[in-house]
Amino acid sequence: MLAVTDLRIAYGKTEVVHGVSFDVAAGECIALIGANGAGKSTILKAICGLIPPSSGDIRFEGRSIGGLPGHAVARLGICMCPEGRQMFPEMTVLENLQLGAYRRRSEDISGTIDEVMTLFPRLRERASQLAGTLSGGEQEMVAIGRALMAKPRLCIFDEPSLGLAPKVVDEIEETLMKIKNLGVTILLVEQAVSMALRVADRAYVLEAGEVVASGTSQEISNDSRVQSAYLGG
Amino acid sequence: MLVDLLQQLFNGLVIGSIYTLVALGLTIIFGILGIAHFAHGSVAMFGGYLTYFLILALGIGVFPAMALAMAGGALLGVVLERVAYYPVRNAPPINSFIIALGLTLIIEKSNLLLFGVDQIIVPTGFNRIFTIGGLALPELRIYILLTAAALVVALTILIQKSWMGMAVRAVAQNRAAAILMGINVHAVSMFVFALSSALGVAAGVLVGALFAIAPGVSGGLVVKGFAVLILGGLGSIPGAIVGGLVLGVSETFASAFVSSAYKDVIAFLLMIGVLLVKPEGIMRRSVAR
Amino acid sequence: MIRPVLLAVVAAAALAFPHVVTANYFIHLAVLAMVWMIVAAGTNVIQGYAGYVSIAQGGFMGIGAYSSALLSLDAGVPVWLAISVAPFITALAALIAGYPSLRVRGHYFAILTLAMNMVIYIVLVNWIPVTGGEAGTTGIPAPEPISIGTLEISFERRVNYYYLVLAALALTMLIVTAVVRSRVGRVLEAIRQNETFAEAAGVACWKYKLFAFVISASLAGFAGALYAHYMSFISPAPFSVDHSLNAILAVILGGSGTLTGPLVGAALTVALPEVLRIAEIFRLIIYGFALVVVVIFLPRGLVPWIADLAGRDWKLPRAQSAESR
Amino acid sequence: MRRLGVLTIAAAIAFSPLATRAAEKTLTIGVSDALSGGGAVYGVPEKRAIDLAIEQINAAGGIAVGKDKYKLAAIVYDDKADPTEATNVARKLIDRDGVKYLLGYCCSASTGAVASIIGREDAIMLVGTAGARAITSAGHKNVFRTRPPGDYTGDAAGRFIASQGVKRLGVVAARDVALFTQYRDALIKAFESEGGKVVAVETFGGQDRDMTAQLTKVRGLEPDAYFISGYVEQVAFAHRQAHELGIKAPRFGFSGGSAAQFLRVASAEAMEGVWDLIAIEFNAEALGENAKNYAKAYEAKWKEYPTPNSAFAYDQVYVLKAALEAAGTVDDLEAVKKALRNLTVPKEVVLRYLPVDGKMFDPKGQAYISNGAFQFRNGNWVFVKELPSDAAAYSKFFQTVRD
């Protein structure tokens, strides 16, 4: 579904991603793991059209999307649940969810809202509250729900557990499993490596802008380097 | 004495409703694009002139002519965004600011060139005067209040209820997230310029009906608009509404009870005071609410 | 190597000008151009170096002009003293206005200075007993003649006033050069490029910004005083917002953040309409287009652009171009 | 406006003596007037009147100076009624264009500025409509004015208002145009010396078009009558707003605009009964043959009826013609000044001047005409009566003041 080939990205003259390749098949859940500054978020931004790649190819369902503007990528059905939640803080929870369905604005979205609220009952209670006033965990739910509102073909999660209490992280993990079981294709970027590996089918390990290991989650979990670097083993 | 107070209040509200319209256009542009669109007053004047000539040329009433002129203004707004502001969207803010100053000169003087130097008054035919107690309520001023109110309500509904309005608010609050939702920020920019220029044109028509459109009027108008913006908080729609009325009324009272010579100074002092004490304005900063 | 030579050539040309071009009118234009150069050089400090757009330069010019004129007319202060004091009066006004205003940044600051200019203008128009209102103040004396031996130099004569303003311009350039090449100048550039960074690095930015603002204003006031005693008549009109915009245009057109750019820009804004002999209205439309086009296509202004074209290494302290940020 | 390159100008200056010798002689005069902005309602008609006079003089063979016949040509600049712009224009005309005679000048502030510097210049300035006293009272030997100063008329107006039975007068007037402030002060002084009381003096500025606040305030003081003065564009708004506020008391004023100029802003209903107390500037019925012919010619050329004060400018040109012919020179300014000072009222002028000591201009170069009361009736100004005014007495006082 998504194929990234030899992707290079530079900020100004400094190249930060040096020829990364990976792919995501339909229905799969893939994790990109790596330390802070490994280039994970940069790659996601390039996929979503927020920054242009300097070279390499990004294909989505066979079509090259590298350099396409962000809104056009979103309209193809690639939806990102961004790092730091990125609420529309002065809109209500309901409005945030509605905006998630912006690419489907000609359709009736009340059914989808109902589905998302069933997934996150807390959001139903908070529907008319301003998103900026919610707790971090609740905001993450809004962010995930908002991404689902688009009925995405590919859903990208950028550090969904960042800055959340361990109990909430467990909830997020549960939610990701639910979404995966709904059949949504997922690209997950996480620093919480053990959680990511529990959710994902396959994983790529990034270090300093390069893929240093890849394989099924099982294989990666067993990789000694990964164990020592990320899993505290 | 009470009648005089009420009379001054009514007069102040009429002027204030025009300030509100000007400020609304400025505030949505600032909220979305962070541009201090100084040419807004000249666009308003352009609209007033255009309406005047449409009324003369087509023999239509003031409201249809105003609607046409607003459409023309919207188009002009889109052109300004595309041609002048779009190329500097990623440059430091000082650049867009200087573009705005340049556009002001161009539009202001083009108005002179196109429409001449004479002051013009938009003919309305609303000459009746209603009197309640000792309070004189000229028909024209009532219509101005109503027109401004109708436009404010229409804008509020548009911004609160429509998909485009949601997109506008989304871009104002979180540009990056809005892009991820599939919102085309450039389309929103153009829409915002079209919308605000149409509002500006409406304000220009009202000024032209109540007073006159003449070279030099636009400068005062745009500065009052910014004063309102600062009073109400840059980017805040309710702030613009409240701020406009507050400025209109306080100016009228200042003119009557303090000094008609320094009424503009009083408005600026108010603005400077707000900036220094409560820089976010008397209302919260946001296009959202 | 090339710069001292060029400087000498320009200086020689400036000194010779009134003897080559003897038509009174062109000397008049040259005086006006130099007055504007002083304003533009000052504007450049706050706008080109610190990156803050001040739309109050016209107003500060007015404060300088009126204080010098009124001191000499009403208080009987010698004109030389009045002209020397005017920049300090203006500086004081700028200090009072700038201290609170510089707490805000960017657009807020620009709008605030615009309001300042309008307040100054309104006061000039309405404080009729002192300023004479819109009708202005007449009969402002020229500086007292200087006697060197038997030679008496009268500044009623236009040529002599030309040399006076030329000397003032040279003084201005010395001051501005000293400021921008000092540590202060480097801090101002840092503020322009990233104020938050500079702040985080422990620089008390507000002090430097205030200093830049006050220097800009007092040079405008200086120019205003020179203008008043040259014209012998002033009214509020030349100190309106329009003329603040003119100063901004001069800086942008010539090259903001360069020493020579604003001078070239100011000369162009005075000379162009005369050379083109076009109606005022077209001139202003052309100015508008010039602003837009220069900002979009030549964000660094004419002088750096020409310098680049000439392929020379002019070691001017110049603004980072917009696109590299 | 001539649009020539600098080089062409330089060439023209360099070769102008040659050119004059070769062709028939032309005397170029400079015209500075407000052709745009708020003053344009006065400046444009003034410029048109000058154009008309020049055309007539040239068609009749020009000006006979000694043995030569001079045709007139004008270089016209827009001074926007702005003092600074007007001084720049004067510099251009004198220094660059080499003009010796400056005409036009509709507005007080701009004219006052030029008058303040003209004393040092080698030129003669003929002032049209501008009414600030200092323009001529300052006593520059090269300034002459056809229009009487504002306070000359204001005094007569104050007495007239009192004679109408007004006891309490509310004043709403232009704030700082010397013409209007001097008129207003003279009016108040005269009105109070007749036993009247001024209940309030409210003012408005040069850009204001909303006088509602001031009018509402004065309305609350319940005066018997209002006095509203300023430039037409603004005063028309004040009358419209007074009408909107339901003010029924009589409104007197001073602005001297044509009916058409007022009706562009205020309805005939709002204007009905309003008084304008002005120098009798122009009234074809009251003034006779010359005036009728002027109105006819002006209307034929410009497709509109002349505004009242345009006649001052028209007369300027004939005054200059008479003075040049009397002096027998166009180059010797001292002789021309002397001729102007000794001039009797030329026969071609439209207005009825009141000579002082038999001469058109008094020792300070000031001319006088009579004052009159006009009232707006059924969409037009109607001449009601002449206001008693003593030109000789005023002139005597005028010699003693400098501002």
Helix or strand (DSSP H, E) at C263: helix C261-276
Kindly state whether residue D297 falls inside one of the protein's structural domains.
Answer: yes
| Chain B residues in contact with C102 (beta carbon < 8 A) | none
- Residue of D79, D105, D116, D180 to mutate for C, most C C-beta atoms under 10 A: D116
Residue D205 pLDDT exceeds 90: no
Q: In whole angstroms, what is the distance from residue D93 CA to residue D102 CA?
A: 8
Asked whether the beta carbons of residue A102 and residue B174 sit closer than 8 angstroms, the reply is no
Short-list A39, D308, B84, CA closest to C293: B84
Radius of gyration of chain C (CA): 19
pLDDT class for B202, splitting at 50, 70, 90?
A: very high
pLDDT of residue C278: 65
**Contact between residue D397 and residue D382 where contact means Cβ atoms under 8 Å apart:** no
Asked whether the beta carbons of residue C235 and residue D178 sit closer than 8 angstroms, the reply is no
Tell me if chain C has a CB within 8 Å of the CB of B215.
no
Q: Which residue of D has its CA nearest to C131?
A: D176
pLDDT of residue D284: 67
Asked whether the beta carbons of residue C289 and residue B102 sit closer than 8 angstroms, the reply is yes
Asked whether the beta carbons of residue B105 and residue C299 sit closer than 8 angstroms, the reply is no
pLDDT class for A120, splitting at 50, 70, 90?
A: very high
pLDDT of residue A47: 94
Greater pLDDT, C202 or C88: C88
What are the beta bridge partners of residue C233? C138
Q: In whole angstroms, what is the distance from residue D255 CA to residue D232 CA?
A: 6
Based on the fold, state whether residues D249 and D385 are members of the same structural domain: yes
Closest Cβ–Cβ partner in C136, C231, C279 for D1: C279
pLDDT of residue B289: 37
* D326 to chain C, closest Cα gap in Å: 32
Average pLDDT of every residue of chain B:
89
Short-list C56, C120, C86, CA closest to C225: C86
**Contact between residue D386 and residue D369 where contact means Cβ atoms under 8 Å apart:** no
Short-list B39, B46, B22, CA closest to B83: B39
Chains with ≥3 CB–CB distances under 8 Å to C: B, D
Closest Cβ–Cβ partner in C112, C285, C299 for B95: C299
Average pLDDT of every residue of chain A:
91
Based on the fold, state whether residues D362 and D377 are members of the same structural domain: no
pLDDT class for C291, splitting at 50, 70, 90?
A: confident
Start-to-end C-alpha separation, chain B? 38
Q: Is A97 helix (H, G, I), strand (E, B) or coil?
A: helix
Closest Cβ–Cβ partner in D78, D83, D96 for C135: D83
Number of domains in chain C: 1
**Contact between residue A51 and residue A6 where contact means Cβ atoms under 8 Å apart:** no
* Tens digit of each residue's pLDDT (9 = 90 or more) over C103-118: 777 777 888 888 889 8
| Chain B residues in contact with C287 (beta carbon < 8 A) | 102, 105
Residue D296 pLDDT exceeds 80: yes
Based on the fold, state whether residues D197 and D308 are members of the same structural domain: no
Asked whether the beta carbons of residue C118 and residue B264 sit closer than 8 angstroms, the reply is yes
* Tens digit of each residue's pLDDT (9 = 90 or more) over D90-148: 999 999 899 999 999 998 889 988 998 898 889 999 999 898 898 999 889 999 999 99
Based on the fold, state whether residues D162 and D191 are members of the same structural domain: yes
Helices (H) and strands (E) in chain B, counts: 11, 2
Asked whether the beta carbons of residue B230 and residue C111 sit closer than 8 angstroms, the reply is yes
Q: In whole angstroms, what is the distance from residue C236 CA to residue C226 CA?
A: 15
Mean pLDDT of B28-56: 92
Asked whether the beta carbons of residue C291 and residue B108 sit closer than 8 angstroms, the reply is no
Based on the fold, state whether residues D240 and D386 are members of the same structural domain: yes
Tell me if chain B has a CB within 8 Å of the CB of D321.
no
Chains A and D lie in contact, requiring 3 or more CB pairs less than 8 Å apart: no
| CB contact set of D40 (below 8 Å; sequence gap of 6+) | B117, B118, D34, D81
Q: Is A2 helix (H, G, I), strand (E, B) or coil?
A: strand
Asked whether the beta carbons of residue B173 and residue A49 sit closer than 8 angstroms, the reply is no
| Chain C residues in contact with D113 (beta carbon < 8 A) | 135-136, 138, 233, 235
pLDDT of residue C41: 96
Q: In whole angstroms, what is the distance from residue A104 CA to residue D321 CA?
A: 83
What are the beta bridge partners of residue A55? A8
Chains with ≥3 CB–CB distances under 8 Å to B: A, C, D
Sheet holding D275-279, edge to edge: D275-279, D371-377, D380-387
C-D Cβ pairs (cutoff 8 Å, strict): 77
Residue C323 pLDDT exceeds 50: no
| Chain D residues in contact with B215 (beta carbon < 8 A) | 36-37
Residue B40 pLDDT exceeds 90: yes
* Tens digit of each residue's pLDDT (9 = 90 or more) over B155-177: 999 999 999 999 999 999 999 99
* D171 to chain B, closest Cα gap in Å: 14
Closest Cβ–Cβ partner in B174, B185, B284 for A88: B174
Q: Which residue of C has its CA nearest to D120?
A: C156
Q: Which residue of B has its CA nearest to C53?
A: B94
Residue B286 pLDDT exceeds 90: no
The pairing of beta strand C233-234 with beta strand A2-11? unpaired
What region does B254 belong to: left with phi over 0, alpha with psi -120 to 50, or beta? alpha
Short-list B31, B268, B218, B253, CA closest to B106: B218
Percentage of chain D beyond pLDDT 90 is 67
Residues from A in contact with B at Cβ < 8 Å: 48-50, 69-72, 74-75, 79-80, 82, 86-91, 95, 98-100, 102-103, 105, 146, 150
Mean pLDDT of B241-251: 92
Q: In whole angstroms, what is the distance from residue D230 CA to residue D206 CA?
A: 9
| Chain D residues in contact with C277 (beta carbon < 8 A) | 3-6
Give the CATH number for residue D265: 3.40.50.2300
- DSSP output for A179-230: HHHTT-EEEEEES-HHHHHHH-SEEEEEETTEEEEEEEHHHHHH-HHHHHHH
Residue type, C129: P
Asked whether the beta carbons of residue D244 and residue B136 sit closer than 8 angstroms, the reply is yes
* Tens digit of each residue's pLDDT (9 = 90 or more) over B49-92: 999 999 999 999 999 999 999 999 999 999 999 999 999 888 87
Neighbour-count burial of B140, counting CB atoms closer than 10 A to its CB (0-12 exposed, 13-18 middle, 19+ buried): buried
Torsion of CA A164, A169, A172, A173, to 10 degrees: 150
Show the DSSP H helices in A55-131 as ranges: 70-75, 93-100, 110-119, 121-125
Q: Which residue of A has its CA nearest to B163?
A: A105
* C107 to chain B, closest Cα gap in Å: 7
Radius of gyration of chain D (CA): 21
Residue B288 pLDDT exceeds 90: no
Tell me if chain B has a CB within 8 Å of the CB of D96.
no
pLDDT class for C132, splitting at 50, 70, 90?
A: confident
The pairing of beta strand D101-104 with beta strand D26-33? parallel
Q: Which CATH architecture has domain B2-277?
A: Orthogonal Bundle (1.10)
* Tens digit of each residue's pLDDT (9 = 90 or more) over D72-94: 999 999 998 888 889 889 999 99
Provide the 8-state DSSP code for D369: B
Helix or strand (DSSP H, E) at C116: helix C106-126
| CB contact set of D93 (below 8 Å; sequence gap of 6+) | D30, D32, D75, D77, D99, D102, D123
Short-list B1, B6, B247, CA closest to B136: B6
- Residue of B169, B180, B280 to mutate for A, most A C-beta atoms under 10 A: B180
| CB contact set of C128 (below 8 Å; sequence gap of 6+) | D175, D176
Q: In whole angstroms, what is the distance from residue B14 CA to residue B208 CA?
A: 13
pLDDT of residue A78: 93
* Tens digit of each residue's pLDDT (9 = 90 or more) over A204-232: 999 889 999 999 999 998 888 888 877 66
Based on the fold, state whether residues D250 and D393 are members of the same structural domain: yes
Neighbours of C108 (CB within 10 A): 18
Based on the fold, state whether residues D109 and D192 are members of the same structural domain: no
Asked whether the beta carbons of residue C135 and residue D176 sit closer than 8 angstroms, the reply is yes
Q: In whole angstroms, what is the distance from residue B289 CA to residue B286 CA?
A: 7
Torsion of CA D297, D302, D304, D307, to 10 degrees: -80
Closest Cβ–Cβ partner in C126, C232, C275 for D6: C275
* Cβ within 8 Å of B, D 266-295: 267, 269
Asked whether the beta carbons of residue A71 and residue B174 sit closer than 8 angstroms, the reply is no
Residue type, C233: F
Kindly state whether residue D4 falls inside one of the protein's structural domains.
Answer: no
| Chain C residues in contact with B265 (beta carbon < 8 A) | 119, 122-123
Helix or strand (DSSP H, E) at C95: helix C79-101
CB-hemisphere CA count at 13 Å for C152?
5
Asked whether the beta carbons of residue A86 and residue B173 sit closer than 8 angstroms, the reply is no
Kindly state whether residue D1 falls inside one of the protein's structural domains.
Answer: no
| CB contact set of D121 (below 8 Å; sequence gap of 6+) | D90, D94, D142
- Residue of C117, C196, C281 to mutate for B, most B C-beta atoms under 10 A: C281
Show the DSSP H helices in B116-184 as ranges: 139-161, 163-173, 175-180
Residue type, B193: F
Domain that holds residue D310: 11-147+285-369
Where do the structural domains in chain B lie, given as residue ranges? 2-277
Q: What are the φ and ψ backbone dihedral angles of C313, each rounded to 5 degrees?
A: -95, 85
Neighbours of D165 (CB within 10 A): 10
Helix or strand (DSSP H, E) at B190: helix B185-210
Q: In whole angstroms, what is the distance from residue D279 CA to residue A2 CA?
A: 89
Kindly state whether residue D247 falls inside one of the protein's structural domains.
Answer: yes
Based on the fold, state whether residues D88 and D214 are members of the same structural domain: no
Kindly state whether residue D5 falls inside one of the protein's structural domains.
Answer: no
Short-list C97, C42, C28, CA closest to C224: C42
Kindly state whether residue D6 falls inside one of the protein's structural domains.
Answer: no
Give the CATH number for residue C161: 1.10.3470
Based on the fold, state whether residues D43 and D114 are members of the same structural domain: yes
Provide the 8-state DSSP code for C239: G
Number of domains in chain D: 2
- DSSP output for A48-72: TTSS--SEEEEEETTEE-TT--HHH
Percentage of chain B beyond pLDDT 70 is 96
Residue B283 pLDDT exceeds 80: no
- Residue of D4, D13, D32, D84 to mutate for C, most C C-beta atoms under 10 A: D84
Based on the fold, state whether residues D44 and D93 are members of the same structural domain: yes
| Chain C residues in contact with B229 (beta carbon < 8 A) | 111
Q: Is C322 helix (H, G, I), strand (E, B) or coil?
A: helix
Neighbours of D156 (CB within 10 A): 25
pLDDT class for C151, splitting at 50, 70, 90?
A: confident
Domain that holds residue C239: 2-324
Start-to-end C-alpha separation, chain D? 34
**Contact between residue D74 and residue D58 where contact means Cβ atoms under 8 Å apart:** no
Residue position matching structure tokens 């009579």: D370
